[in-house]
Structure 1
């Protein structure tokens, strides 16, 4: 009697490896955020052999909070793009462990203003966000969540060398 043991092979196709890494990042992020995205995907970037992760949180205030949570997890900058007539994209574009990541939500101006201080692009938010120190106990101090925000128009102007 013969017994054959089959071992699972390690993927040798670089596209498969890249896809599995992006899918693992998606799974890890979905596991860590409280706001579950409407769509979470590992997808191949157009015209490349690179797979990226995308989290689309949908629309509204809760969706924007999902983007802020994602930014905090991956230590990335949140951008705000006021498209037109009260339509605002809240987004994170970054790279995590070599994998491109996009997290986004579509909000209105009021929700975006609530989520992100309008026009607050301070380079050092700690100097503009005081920590309340009413008590002498370190456990009684509440530290506000701080997210760096840089409008997309500023980023585009910087990249092209023109004034926005």
Structure 2
């Protein structure tokens, strides 16, 4: 198992136990309460540049919490000023032990809907919020957990990707 993921899941578990969390949905609400957005704007809205700035700030905050790095496999979130529905982030691919530049695609109704996808520029990594291939789709991990009020952002979605990637690499076996 990946020691970084285990360490970060333990940090998250310890924090959630101190926060007196009673269920998984309550846990996500606690994480949401740590970092929520003030600006609720879609790509193309006049307030979108302020939302972009907030996205970068929240991402950095997730990287430096008092509980540790909540996004250990991601770094350098950047906005694509040439396409308002694109962000870039680097992902640590443990299989190749290298950082891969990835594109995060947002739907027009973001942040009411979660990001559409995370795709490595070289094509080696593909994760979707919704897809017919369960090896590429967040599916039940994300379903009914995304806050449709617009208070969640890319950093929140990347936590779902972290969990998905961990489960894909080390599936839970029930005997």
| Larger strand proportion of the pair | 1
Task: Indicate the structure (1 or 2) with the bigger Cα radius of gyration.
Answer: 1
TM-score by length of 2: 0.28
